Amino acid sequence: MPHHHVITCRNFHSGTWHDDPADTIERHNPATGELVAIAARSSAADVDAAVASAATAFRSWRKTLPADRARYLHDLAAACAPRVDEMAASITREQGKPLDEARGEVRKFVTALHYYAEEAQRVFGRTIPNDTAGFTSIVEKEPIGPVAGIVPWNYPIELIGWKLAGATAAGCTIVLKPSEYTPGCAQILSECVAEVFPPGVVNIVHGDGRTGQALVEHPAIAKIAFTGSMRTGQAISRSVNGITPLSLELGGSCPMIVTERADIGAAITGAARRSFRNAGQICIAINRIYVHDAVHDEFVAGLAAAADALKVADGIEVPSADVGSMTMDETYQRTLDHIADARDRGARIVAGGGPVTELSPGLFLRPTVVDDAADEALVMHEETFGPLVGVARFTDLDDAIERANAAPGGLAAYAYTDDTRETFALARELDFGNVAVNNVDAGIMNAPYGGRRESGFGSEHGHEGLESYLQLKHIRLRH
Ligand code: NAD
């Protein structure tokens, strides 16, 4: 049952919670304005204590057997399972996505724990014959050390799950810094962790960017796993000076190409889902669509109708709604600015276009499609992070691919075509870390997931996600 109380989010390290600091951050429900969480705004000293806890625990955790780590992760999944509804309600009340969607997110988090529990047992080194008789080289993979895991608010528990599960499965300990917009689910998680894990393996510090900065700059942190905006990713990259291993999962502007040989019905369904789910606040959301001139009118009419048919509502009151409240004033305003900018540059608004007035002052926007958007329009090259998608036409596929590749970032691209040659051209020439053809699920748990260019580097998911927490050691034996 959803809890209608204010969640107090406390720092968790050394297996226990620490006194409420004087300095706190309040989180209000973006749909209603009610106070829903109070979290610590941790100081550098709080961060220091959490990192010390992770560093101490690492000494013994790194020596545990993979099968033991698997058991801990399966046990954590079991401890979280009864709290799925509670975590989901906290996410909806802080972040805005409808309750059913939030439940789906928490279930994916639980799946990530099980997945890496199994993957922990599939880490192997190798032996290498030497050129000199009597020598053998062994390459071993060792956990890298205490990890800093910093996450944004759009998938508050799923993104924590990838980092927590990958790092601890590899034999690392971790200090997590949830977003200041969505601290509640991390508090619930800490209660599950306390039941299961040895002290210090999983630690949580709450706070905003200053807390995050103190964490990434801490000398005892051996690896930084960051998910968030390009701007913060660049700031972290500068502040660590290129020494601390870093993975950056950043944003970007994701394109979709629909050719004249596509199944237009399927393309419309895919576009509506991946443009507007989570109110467009997804790093792999479709921002811009290039449609072949011959199928343009049919596609746009279908997409506009699909957008209009989406149910926008308070995600607690209507758990099955398609689109809930947006999360931040800033992204809400940016979406409105991008709509105005596209219109000023000659685009036509064919669906949505502004707030759902009866739900204001909640941050509810109608799913919006702007057609014939100029390449210069902001929606066609900046990440909006809202329920807005821009459509443009093409006649030559190479030209469409070039335009798709031109905007900053290289996280995910989508294409619809039933032609084999076009499929391979699109799959090979789209310069993105994830390309989905005839579907819109670019990220799955057992395949590597990561960006290119301004969208960052490093992989999460899959075996590669685990490898990112390991370092190599060459052992040369004379025998
Ligand atoms: P953000 O960069 O503002 O914040 C992300 C996290 O970093 C938060 O926990 C924040 O407190 C912390 N932070 C802020 N400044 C910091 C600093 N100087 N040092 C260390 N930590 C700092 O991003 P956001 O607004 O929370 O999230 C939205 C962005 O995240 C979008 O751009 C989206 O595309 C991106 N994102 C990417 C992926 C991916 O897998 N590539 C997934 C989800 C979201």
- Report the separation in Å between the CA atom of 231 and the middle of ligand 1, taken as the mean of its atom positions: 8
- Which atom of ligand 1 lies closest to the CA of 411? 41
Measured CA to CA, the distance from residue 396 to residue 270 in angstroms comes to 22
Confidence at residue 4, expressed as pLDDT on a 0 to 100 scale = 59
- Among 129, 151, 146, 147, residue whose Cα is nearest residue 138: 129
Ligand 1 pocket, residues with Cβ under 6 angstroms? 150-154, 177, 179-180, 208-209, 212-213, 216, 227-229, 232, 235-236, 249-251, 283, 383, 385, 411, 451
The protein residue with its alpha carbon nearest to ligand 1, atom 13, reads 209
Confidence at residue 242, expressed as pLDDT on a 0 to 100 scale = 74
- Among 61, 7, 13, 8, residue whose Cα is nearest residue 205: 13
Confidence at residue 1, expressed as pLDDT on a 0 to 100 scale = 37
Three-state DSSP class for 194?
helix
In this structure, what is the dihedral angle of CA atoms 308, 96, 446, 437, given to the nearest 10 degrees? 20
- Report the separation in Å between the CA atom of 158 and the middle of ligand 1, taken as the mean of its atom positions: 14
- Report the separation in Å between the CA atom of 473 and the middle of ligand 1, taken as the mean of its atom positions: 32
- Which atom of ligand 1 lies closest to the CA of 449? 40
- Report the separation in Å between the CA atom of 198 and the middle of ligand 1, taken as the mean of its atom positions: 29
Query: Cα–Cα–Cα angle for 134, 138, 141, nearest 5°?
Result: 170
- Report the separation in Å between the CA atom of 153 and the middle of ligand 1, taken as the mean of its atom positions: 8
Instruction: Assess contact for 225 and 150: CB atoms under 8 A.
Output: yes
Residue 249 annotated in active site: yes
Measured CA to CA, the distance from residue 434 to residue 445 in angstroms comes to 13
Domain boundaries, the chain: 7-251+455-474, 254-437
> What's this model's pTM, rounded to 2 decimal places?
0.96
Q: Which of 206, 283, 328, 452 to mutate to test the pocket of ligand 1 (most atoms within 8 A of CB)?
A: 283
The protein residue with its alpha carbon nearest to ligand 1, atom 41, reads 249
Question: What's the residue count for the chain?
Answer: 479
The protein residue with its alpha carbon nearest to ligand 1, atom 34, reads 251
Give me the residues of the chain with pLDDT under 50, please: 1-3
What percentage of residues in the chain have a pLDDT greater than 90?
96
Catalytic choice (9, 185, 192, 283) = 283
Measured CA to CA, the distance from residue 368 to residue 348 in angstroms comes to 11
Measured CA to CA, the distance from residue 301 to residue 287 in angstroms comes to 18
- Which atom of ligand 1 lies closest to the CA of 207? 11
Q: How many helices (H) and strands (E) does the chain have?
A: 14, 21
- Which atom of ligand 1 lies closest to the CA of 213? 19
Residue 324 has phi, psi (to 5 degrees) of -105, -155
Question: What residue has token string 């706190």?
Answer: 24
Q: What is the pLDDT of residues 292-340, one digit of tens each?
A: 999 999 999 999 999 999 999 999 999 999 999 999 999 999 999 999 9
> Which residues neighbour 141 within 8 Å (Cβ) at sequence distance 6 or greater?
123, 124, 125, 467, 470, 471, 472, 473
Three-state DSSP class for 389?
strand
Three-state DSSP class for 256?
strand
- Does domain 254-437 fall under CATH 3.40.50.720? My reply is no
Q: Which fold has domain 7-251+455-474?
A: Aldehyde Dehydrogenase; Chain A, domain 1 (3.40.605)
Question: What residue has token string 């994830």?
Answer: 434
